[in-house]
Amino acid sequence: MFKKILIANRGEIACRVAATARRMAIKTVAVYSDVDADAKHVRFCDEAVHIGGNAPKDSYLRWERIIAAAKATGAQAIHPGYGFLSENEEFAQACADAGLVFIGPPASAIKAMGLKAESKRLMETAGVPLVPGYHGSDQSPALLKREADRIGYPVLIKASAGGGGKGMRAVARSEDFDAALASCKREAINSFGDDAVLVEKYAQRPRHIEIQVFGDSHGNYVYLFERDCSVQRRHQKVLEEAPAPGMTEAMRQQMGAAAVAAARAVNYVGAGTVEFIVEQRPDGSMNFFFMEMNTRLQVEHPVTEAITGLDLVEWQLRVAAGQPLPLAQDQLRINGHAIEARICAENPENNFLPATGTLHVYQKPACTSFERGLVRVDDGVRQGDTISPFYDSMVAKLIVHGQTREEALARLDDALAQTRIVGLNTNVQFLRHVVRSPSFAHANLDTALIQREEAGLFKQEPVGLAMAAAAAIAHALLNEKSDEGADPFSHRDGWRSHGVTQRRFEFEFHGELAQAGLTYLHDGALRLEVGEVSGPLQFSKVESGEGGIDIQFAGQRLTAAVYRQGEVDHVFTARGATQISAIDLLAHAGESHAEVGRLTAPMPGKVVSFSVKVGDKISKGQPLAVMEAMKMEHTIAAPADGVVQELLYAPGDQVAEGSELLKITV
């Protein structure tokens, strides 16, 4: 076994690999960019080497620097994690040429399966069913459009070297094809250095089911069952579970055999995933088509670990060291059900726009053991860390296990309720909405679930104005009490020798202004009025827990944790979370709530292009510019009709969040 390995990645996967290595008494070397100098994975490993600037092309994609770091530190092998160089055959070959073990498949297997078009031709030869499409080498836009027209809309354009939803667009009409193709190619070249694409028929209501495979250098192969990854947004996975709901044993064996055959066809070694599109037949049976093979460990591998009780990173290390697979196919068993939720820095209510910022509060649910726990969190961040625009938006992975799917669902909802993040937008509450949705709860799954359930997934308010205001006021009063000294005249408890005392509070809640009145009664009791809701207010600190407050108001009782950031109170309850702002009217005197004629960047990133010029007339909703952030492209649309007055940046310029991009007259 290796004595020391270098982990050519960052974030949660670097920490994940290092944790198994530590358990196996293997020393680890981290690599890091400028912005990651104090990152969790750097501190978690035994050694660390700086490899360059913030952008991946200046650091985590510079394989010659990574190999030099491995040799300089005496590492014997390199684990690529996922993303970055994990599916780069040149890097795998360079490791071998340098006398280093690449903890993954041979370069030949990566080359054969890494390009989607090539792998589909290989599968077609092997008799594996394929989705109708064009996988040819002629990449002229005119030919690609003709092929799309021939296949019939809707079609899916996919980067041939892609993954993670990057370089992928669904196109519903012929007239939209050219713009979608150009965007795919830009995103593909930026993420993978290759702008080749393929075009496929976009299946209606498909499920995305993948098979985990493993091979060793002794010719042994197994499949470690399946994962359902159907719940997606922007072609990126949101929730993954194992086993797939509704999967029959016969279908599992059929798909597993096909996945193993795919691995054998390229003499695969190590961990890999064969992905299938699965459609439901009218008789209820399922039909599957090969989609692609990912020649690496997947983000969602923990759900497979949970149902098998195995450590897949340990298997990777043992196989890379020349050992045979630890178990044969007939020794593998499924135990219970596991679900993984990807917690991302993004705004679900604004088309899942990536978010950046500081994790001022980062409270995780109570976890059990790392490998076989009922609740597990894989992350690469700590409270106080900053989520930058240079890398993927994922903050953490929350994995739960239960004996049944229903038990796992309940455990996941409870763990999400215990997850508290303040400092930037996240999808935590959105994930709770998905988990509670009828479609997900009843396993009515397909890749369009989020769009289909849109009305019930967005803009839910689980707490309500009255209880949010009560929580904010209780938090403020408790803080005032803790600040009071021994001097009785410094107390702010509302006591008067005659009459009663009233206080007024101004709030902003979901864009609407609201008022609350608090009355101090002679017996020390409090009465609160919020809009048309009024009644006694009682509250007290919860001794156990992180700053919890027990609140009773208007016939309701709940325990809330309240965190103040600026003027915003972030309220977390078992029902869900919300934000309410206490407005200081004097502090905001003279401010305007509407800025006309300005269009600002919704996130930090790079300007890719403008689709308008000075003097153009524009209409509301018209695309004006394209920005790139966190390796994804985002279209900026006109907020109203008007005329373009000035473009303030040029393509290629980096801009900060809130920067004015262009001026328009309305």
- Are residues 224 and 196 both part of a single domain? no
Least confident of 431-435, 515-519, 638-642: 638-642
Q: Average pLDDT, stretch 105-112? A: 93
Q: Can you give the pLDDT at residue 192?
A: 80
Co-location of 218 and 345 in the same domain: yes
- Residue 400 tokens read as 């739960």
pLDDT for the residue numbered 630: 62
Whether residue 591 is contained in a domain is answered as: no
**pLDDT for residue 591:** 41
Residues 272 and 196 occupy one common structural domain? no
Q: Which pair of tokens denotes residue 298? A: 């997947």
Q: What mean pLDDT comes out for the span 383-407?
A: 95
Q: How confident is the model at residue 73 (pLDDT cuts 50, 70, 90)?
A: very high
Instruction: Look up residue 596 and give its DSSP letter.
Output: T
> 237 and 315, same structural domain?
yes
Q: What is the DSSP letter of 130?
A: B
Q: Are residues 420 and 287 in the same domain?
A: yes
Q: What is the pLDDT of residue 596?
A: 42
Average pLDDT over residues 430-459: 92
Q: What is the reported pLDDT for 237? A: 93
Give tens-digit pLDDT for 181-205: 999 999 888 878 888 999 988 877 8
Alpha helices in 242-363 (DSSP H): 249-265, 301-308, 312-320
What are the tens digits of pLDDT across the range 243-284?
A: 999 999 999 999 999 999 999 989 999 999 999 999 876 676
Between residues 525 and 132, the one the model is more confident about: 525
pLDDT of residue 632: 67
Q: Say yes or no: 355 and 251 in one domain.
A: yes
**Domain enclosing residue 83, as ranges:** 4-103
- What local confidence, expressed as pLDDT, does residue 116 receive? 65
Closest CA to 559 of 463, 481, 482, 430: 463
Tokens read off for 102: 């690449």
> What angle in degrees, to the nearest 10, is found between the helix axes of 312-320 and 11-23?
70
301 and 395 together in one domain: yes
- Is 631 in the same domain as 522? no
| pLDDT tens-digit map of 223-236 | 999 999 999 987 88
**If pLDDT is split at 50, 70 and 90, which confidence band does 490 have?**
very low
pLDDT at 455: 87
Q: Is the pLDDT of residue 660 over 50?
A: yes
**Higher pLDDT residue, 622 or 396?**
396
Query: The domain spanning residue 182 has which CATH number?
Result: 3.30.1490.20
- Residue pair 144/171 in contact (Cβ under 8 Å)? The answer is no
Residue with tokens 């985590």: 60
Query: How many C-beta atoms lie closer than 10 Å to residue 211's C-beta?
Result: 27
Tens of pLDDT along 580-630?
Answer: 998 864 444 334 433 445 577 876 788 889 999 999 999 888 888 888 876
Are 254 and 234 part of one and the same domain?
yes
CB 333 within 8 A of CB 306: no
Q: Do 377 and 484 have their domain in common?
A: no
pLDDT at 373: 65
**Structure confidence at residue 638 (pLDDT):** 85
Give domain status of residue 120, yes or no: no
CATH code at position 638:
2.40.50.100
Q: Which range among 372-381, 476-485, 561-570, 636-645 shows the weakest confidence by mean pLDDT? A: 476-485
Residues 226 and 87 in one domain: no
Residue 626 lies in a domain: yes
Q: Is residue 608 part of a domain?
A: yes
Active-site residue numbers?
296
| pLDDT classification of 450: cutoffs 50, 70, 90 | very high
The structural domain count of the chain equals 5
- For tokens 């997606």, the residue is 232
Q: Is 459 contained in some domain?
A: no
Cα-Cα-Cα-Cα torsion 77, 79, 85, 89, nearest 10 degrees, comes to 50
Report whether 288 contacts 177 (CB < 8 A). no
Residue 115 in domain: no
Lowest mean pLDDT among 93-102, 276-285, 387-396: 276-285
User: How far from the centroid of its chain's Cα atoms is residue 201's Cα?
Assistant: 26
In a domain, 72, yes or no: yes
Supply the pLDDT for residue 652: 86
Task: Kindly report, residue by residue over 366-392, the tens digit of the pLDDT.
Answer: 876 544 569 999 999 999 999 999 998
- Element of type H or E holding 336: none
Structure token pair of residue 654: 């980096």
Quick one: 421 and 355 in the same domain?
yes
CATH number of the domain that residue 418 is part of: 3.30.470.20
Summarised one tens digit per residue, pLDDT across range 338-371 is 999 999 999 998 888 889 999 999 999 987 654 4
Tell me the CA distances in angstroms from 62 to 45, 59, 298, 595, 628, one per residue in order. 20, 5, 22, 43, 21
- Domain stop point among 582, 611, 639: 582
Q: Is 108 among the domain residues?
A: no
103, 122, 142 — which closes off a domain?
A: 103
DSSP letters spanning 157-180: EEETT--TTTTEEEE-SGGGHHHH
| pLDDT recorded at residue 592 | 40
**Pick from 413, 430, 453: which residue ends a domain?**
453
Q: Which of 388, 404, 412, 429 is nearest to 339 (CA)?
A: 412
pLDDT cut 70: percent of the chain above it: 91
Question: Using omega within 30 degrees of 0 as the cis cutoff, is the peptide bond preceding 206 cis?
Answer: no
532 burial class (0-12, 13-18, 19+ CB within 10 angstroms)?
exposed
Handedness of CA 433, 434, 436, 437 (dihedral sign): positive
Which pLDDT score is estimated for 498?
53
Q: What is the CATH number of the domain that holds 45?
A: 3.40.50.20
pLDDT of res. 121: 79
